[in-house]
Structure 1
Amino acid sequence: MYLIVGLGNPGEEYEHTRHNAGFDAVDVIAEAVGARYWKTECGSLTAKGVWRDHDIVLAKPQSFMNTSGGPVKQLMNAYSVEPDRLIVIHDELDIDPGTVRVKFGGGHAGHNGLRSICDKLGTRDWARVRVGIGRPPGRMPVVDWVLSRPRKDASDDFAYAVDRGAQAALSLVDAGLEKTQQVFN
């Protein structure tokens, strides 16, 4: 079984913002695996599906980005998922918009959702699908950038990266890290 977690913030005001790239990618995966029933458990919205003979639990933590680690740990315990079967999809400032990168382990690079997961799990050894959103223009504060929706000219890149992020997460499930990196990095 795999646990695929999309990071984001709950609530209409955050829907489809750059910071919710993980939520959006999990929604794409839900459609691909036929997961239509969402329920609340362990502080997350969850749905179950199957991808190429692998059971998958999809999750969107509802505790806000900065405290995502608690719900992730609870879900891992509830489903007996080891860190090597955890895939986290999140926005990434240091990657160009429209681009996706996959890695296993590493730091949190100042991303509070990743920091929370690292702290709660006591390990950094899990897969990350990084959806590029780029840096804010000029002197725009980072928080304003990540919590805004891409404008029309950038929305195609964002939608493309979200879709690629979903594909990369599913590739991790059935092809493994090395092959997924060869395709997506």
Structure 2
Amino acid sequence: MKCIVGLGNPGFKYRKTRHNIGFMVVDHIASENGWKINKSGFESHYTIEFLNGEKVMLVKPQTYMNLSGNAVKKIADYYDLDPQDIVVIYDDLDLPTGKIRLRQKGGHGGHNGIRNIIDQLKTKDFNRIRFGIGRPDSDLPVVDYVLNKFPKSEKKTVEEAIEKSNHACEDWVEKPFLEVMNTYNT
């Protein structure tokens, strides 16, 4: 089984904020395939479906961002998933808005959700899609910036990157992540 985890914070007030881009990508994948994320368990909302003959689990941890690893660990343990069968989608301040970057492993880069996943899985070797949200132009604190919604001026760029992330995830179901990475990181 392939596990696609979108990071975010639960609750209406965080909906469509920069920090919830992982949730937005997972919701888009579900919508594009006619699926509903309607199951609860593993401290997550999730669904398990089939895509091109492969079992796929879409996951939105409900632990709040900084404890995302708790949910990912429970799923990995229950389904005996290898970390390479997991891809985590999350916001990245160090990439321009709408730029995506796929990686097979690495550090947390200051992202507390990724830090917690590394701590819980006891490895840095899991697939990631870093979704650029840029940095604030003003003196706005980072915590406020990530919890704000994307402005209308970035809507098209964000939608295109969500679609690109969706295609990368769907390609990964059929191809090695390295091959997908080489395609989408150009």
TM-score normalized by the length of structure 2: 0.95
RMSD of aligned Cα (Å): 1.2
**Mapped pair 1:81 → 2:120:** no
- Give the 5 Å matches for 1:105-184: 105-184=105-184
* CA distance in 2 between partners of 1:68 and 1:45 (Å): 12
* CA distance in 2 between partners of 1:160 and 1:75 (Å): 30
* CA distance in 2 between partners of 1:21 and 1:37 (Å): 16
Q: Which residue of 1 aligns with 2:43?
A: 43
- Output the amino acid matched with 1:179: E
- Output the amino acid matched with 1:46: Y
Once the two structures are TM-superposed, the CA of residue 74 in structure 1 deviates from its matched residue by 0.3
Deviates more, 1:174-183 or 1:75-84: 174-183
Determine if contact 1:4/1:169 at 8 Å carries over to the other structure: yes
- Output the amino acid matched with 2:122: G
* CA distance in 2 between partners of 1:24 and 1:180 (Å): 21
Give secondary structure in 1 for the equivalent of 2:176. helix
Q: Which residue of 2 aligns with 1:7?
A: 7
Determine if contact 2:46/2:57 at 8 Å carries over to the other structure: yes
* CA distance in 2 between partners of 1:97 and 1:91 (Å): 9
Determine if contact 1:30/1:49 at 8 Å carries over to the other structure: no
* CA distance in 1 between partners of 2:100 and 2:37 (Å): 28
Give secondary structure in 2 for the equivalent of 1:68. helix
Once the two structures are TM-superposed, the CA of residue 138 in structure 1 deviates from its matched residue by 2.2
* CA distance in 2 between partners of 1:46 and 1:163 (Å): 20
Give secondary structure in 2 for the equivalent of 1:49. strand
Q: Which residue of 2 aligns with 1:34?
A: 34
What is the number of equivalent residue pairs in this alignment? 185
Could you say if the C-alpha distance between residues 37 and 99 of structure 1 is closer, same or farther in structure 2, counting changes exceeding 3 Å?
Answer: closer
- Output the amino acid matched with 2:62: Q
Give secondary structure in 2 for the equivalent of 1:96. coil
Once the two structures are TM-superposed, the CA of residue 167 in structure 1 deviates from its matched residue by 1.6
Once the two structures are TM-superposed, the CA of residue 80 in structure 1 deviates from its matched residue by 1.7
- For structure 2, the 5+ residue unaligned runs are none
Identity %: 39
- For structure 1, the 5+ residue unaligned runs are none
Could you say if the C-alpha distance between residues 37 and 4 of structure 1 is closer, same or farther in structure 2, counting changes exceeding 3 Å?
Answer: closer
Determine if contact 2:104/2:178 at 8 Å carries over to the other structure: no
Give secondary structure in 1 for the equivalent of 2:124. coil
Q: Which residue of 2 aligns with 1:52?
A: 52
